[in-house]
Amino acid sequence: MKRFKPVYSTLIVFFLVVSLQAQCISGDCENGTGSAYFEKGVYSGSFSNALPHGKGTFTGVLEDISQLDSVVDKGTFHHGFFLSGSRQITVSYSKQYQDQFSAVQKQNMKKRGSAWLVPGRPGKTYDYPEKRVPDKRKSGNKETETYYIYQAFDRQYLYWTGNTKRGVPDGTGVFENRKRSIQLILKFEKGLLQGSAKILRWTYPDSLTSLVFANGMITELTTVDSLQKKLELKAPTTFHSLITNPTLTGDFLVKYPNGERYLGDLQNGARHGYGILKGTNGESTKGYWYQNMVHGEAIYSRANGDYVDSGLYLFGRFTKGIAFRAGQQPVNIPVCLSGDCENGTGKARFQPEENSDFTETYSGNFVNGIPNGYGTRTMQKGKLYHRYRGTFSNGLLKGYGEILANYTVIQKLNGIFHNDTLVNGRIYFDDGSSFEYDTADNQVAMYARMIPIVFGAMQTKTVRGTGTYHLKSGSIIKGRFNAANGVATGVYTNAKGISFDVGHAMDPTYSKYGIPNSYQADDMDDVVKVIAQKITQHDDQQRKAAIYHAQLRKREDARQATYDNPAYWRKKTETVTCSACDGEGKITYSNTYGGDIETQYVDSQGRWRTGTIKRTGRTYTTRTTCSACRGKGSMQVHSETYVGP
């Protein structure tokens, strides 16, 4: 089957309504009819397992980094995805991140995050999925096929080349994106995927090796990632979830290259939810996980049962429970060292004695044997330490506090925390610089938390998001930073008060100095020196050029003054030979008449011939007056000569 190669957008995905938990407004938002808020808008209609499923209407936005469209989708939804119906784009906005608008313009504009929304093209209404019929005039009359476009809430695209019935895919066809990093031959029955897929190409981070469907749900799936980690689906999921989240979310069996096996929930390819991790020596961890860390109730045990930790884990740390060791009495964790470690103030240790190379202690307030209230939690291994200090809630920093360390590029996090996560505060680096993190204008958190699972130094400093970066020299940069520590846009101010725009919004007056507008944040002080040097050089060149041109104008003015004075001019009359006519007043012309000529004639047999008739030419000579010399052999020439300075 020939497939038309689309020439429109980049990536692919169906329109996903749901990406976060819904907030029910009215009705039955679990398995019935109701209305609910979702991350990108409001849905009213039929629900199944708390997801839009069946007939309904979604009113919300399609959005990416450069554009936002307000939409109304009416039609059929399938496990949270818009399958078919009508789409109305009520208004389309482009996003502008530089504040270049007047106060009057801003009165009629909206702001989303750090971007201004500028009204763009008018809205439109069309059948969904959008049908495209290739123009044969533009394709050179080649045989092409009709295709259909699905669009996600982040304005990405997926193309279906095949038949439809009553507005939904039906029969066998091809799903692919423009780059063809995904190409699958799939079979639909009344809009629902059935049977095995033929994988033509799947070049996402995880290589897809098998895919089987039943009633629109994936029942079998196997992938292998770049680390040769094999994942096998254990619970049904939707094809749309796989496409929108190719790093995989669901219930999987994971086989690691080192021989470990994990059976349980994954989120974005990480252990997240309930699962069991089994090691090569028979040890296992059974319980709840958070981004590959044991978090919640869990049990760790060795194969022979001589070593068991059972209880509450917080981000990989055994916080409360019972530790069993062969030949020893069970130990309650934490181990109280002094004071009241149950409901009062005391000091406790969070691991058995045998872990002598690593200690974790807490001094402060306890509630039900867990840190609650003000306190200090310290993890230490030799001279390396990692210390949490502030207000704790259920064992985690919550509220004002700080995290200190002496072994990593990050030396301190200071500010407001939520579950050990810095949500608003300042990050201090080992080179003396720091970054004030402005969460009100950040869509992606830069640092989740500092967890010393292994005391290995974080070697790379990362400044990302919106905030104020403090250089060790005392200079500051306030603005938006990219992942490579570069200044995307902002304002630089040094200790001397010198201030100017940097990044993409750099003051255009600096372009005349040949200064580029892209810098690393840590290089800004050196950049200022370069700018100062270039400004000085530029000003010196301008000053010298001004002096030179002033002197030149002075000389020219003086010379012009003498040129205008008749006293500096001498008149002169000369008699010269007229060279135009060889010094004579007459000129001779010679003309010759006659001579050989060619002609055509008829010979004696009646044929045309070409021949030459010879004649004797005669030359005639005439003499006329030479106009250049006016008939004379010489003439007078008058001139003036400048004799001034």
- Domains of the chain, by residue range, sit at 1-99+107-148, 338-531, 568-599+613-642
Q: What is the pLDDT of residue 363?
A: 96
Higher-pLDDT residue of 226, 129: 129
Does 142 have pLDDT greater than 60?
Answer: no
In angstroms, the CA 30 to CA 331 distance is 44
Q: What is the pLDDT of residue 99?
A: 66
Q: What is the pLDDT of residue 286?
A: 95
Does 452 have pLDDT greater than 70?
Answer: no
Instruction: Look at the block and give the residue holding tokens 């330490």.
Output: 385
Can you name the CATH fold of 338-531? lipopolysaccharide transport protein A fold (2.60.450)
Does 585 have pLDDT greater than 80?
Answer: no
Higher-pLDDT residue of 487, 517: 487
Q: What is the pLDDT of residue 440?
A: 54
Instruction: Look at the block and give the residue holding tokens 């402060």.
Output: 364
Q: Residue 392's pLDDT band (boundaries 50, 70, 90)?
A: very high
Please, are residues 169 and 184 in contact by the beta-carbon 8 Å criterion?
Answer: no
Highest-pLDDT range among 21-30, 457-466, 520-529, 575-584: 21-30
Q: Which of 34-38, 96-100, 248-252, 491-495 has the lowest mean pLDDT?
A: 96-100
Q: Is 107 exposed, middle or buried (0-12, 13-18, 19+ CB in 10 A)?
A: exposed
Peptide bond into 129 cis (omega under 30): yes
Q: What is the pLDDT of residue 403?
A: 87
Q: Is 638 exposed, middle or buried (0-12, 13-18, 19+ CB in 10 A)?
A: exposed
3-state secondary structure 309-354: EEEEEECCEEEEEEEEECCCCCEEECEEEEECCCCCEEEEECCCCC
DSSP 523-553: GHHHHHHHHHHHHHHHHHHHHHHHHHHHHHH
* Coil/strand/helix, residue 258: coil
- Count CA atoms closer than 13 A to 76's CA, side-chain side: 13
Q: What is the pLDDT of residue 140?
A: 45
* Coil/strand/helix, residue 387: strand
What lies within 8 Å, CB to CB, of 112 at 6+ separation is 68, 95
Kind and range of the H or E element at 283?
A: none
Higher-pLDDT residue of 581, 617: 581
Q: What is the pLDDT of residue 130?
A: 83
Token pair in block for residue 495: 């200790």
Please, are residues 239 and 213 in contact by the beta-carbon 8 Å criterion?
Answer: yes
Percent over 90 (pLDDT), the chain: 15
Q: Residue 154's pLDDT band (boundaries 50, 70, 90)?
A: low
At residue 452's C-alpha, the angle toward residues 450 and 458, to 5°, is 70
Q: Residue 150's pLDDT band (boundaries 50, 70, 90)?
A: confident
Highest-pLDDT range among 125-139, 398-412, 535-549: 398-412
For residue 515, how far is the Cα from the chain centroid? 24
What lies within 8 Å, CB to CB, of 78 at 6+ separation is 53, 191, 192, 216, 238, 240
> Which tens digit of pLDDT belongs to each residue from 36-94?
998 788 999 999 888 898 899 999 888 776 778 888 999 988 888 888 889 988 877 87
Q: What is the pLDDT of residue 10?
A: 23
What length is written for the chain?
645
The closest of 153, 138, 202, 173 to 15, measured between CA atoms, is 153
At residue 252's C-alpha, the angle toward residues 249 and 255, to 5°, is 120
> Which tens digit of pLDDT belongs to each residue from 514-558?
555 556 666 667 766 666 677 677 777 778 888 888 888 887 777
In angstroms, the CA 320 to CA 297 distance is 9
> Which tens digit of pLDDT belongs to each residue from 462-485?
777 778 889 888 888 888 777 666
Q: Residue 9's pLDDT band (boundaries 50, 70, 90)?
A: very low
Q: What is the pLDDT of residue 14?
A: 36
Please, are residues 58 and 42 in contact by the beta-carbon 8 Å criterion?
Answer: yes
At residue 626's C-alpha, the angle toward residues 622 and 632, to 5°, is 120
Q: What is the pLDDT of residue 610?
A: 62
> Which tens digit of pLDDT belongs to each residue from 261-318?
999 998 877 889 999 999 988 899 999 998 888 999 999 998 888 888 999 998 888 8
* Coil/strand/helix, residue 84: strand
b/e sequence 221-234, b meaning 16+ C-beta within 10 Å: bbbebeeebbbbbb
In angstroms, the CA 605 to CA 14 distance is 97
Q: What is the pLDDT of residue 128?
A: 87
Q: What is the pLDDT of residue 416?
A: 86
Mean pLDDT of the chain: 76
What lies within 8 Å, CB to CB, of 597 at 6+ separation is 612, 613, 615
Does 13 have pLDDT greater than 70?
Answer: no
In angstroms, the CA 173 to CA 77 distance is 21
The closest of 589, 593, 591, 590 to 616, measured between CA atoms, is 593
Q: Residue 589's pLDDT band (boundaries 50, 70, 90)?
A: low
Q: Is 76 exposed, middle or buried (0-12, 13-18, 19+ CB in 10 A)?
A: buried
Percent over 70 (pLDDT), the chain: 70
> Which tens digit of pLDDT belongs to each residue from 202-221?
876 667 888 888 888 888 88
Does 378 have pLDDT greater than 80?
Answer: yes
Q: Residue 325's pLDDT band (boundaries 50, 70, 90)?
A: confident
The closest of 333, 340, 275, 336 to 308, measured between CA atoms, is 333
Q: What is the pLDDT of residue 57?
A: 95
> Which tens digit of pLDDT belongs to each residue from 232-245?
777 777 776 676 66
In angstroms, the CA 541 to CA 261 distance is 71
Does 450 have pLDDT greater than 50?
Answer: no
The closest of 17, 11, 14 to 239, measured between CA atoms, is 14
In angstroms, the CA 318 to CA 333 distance is 8
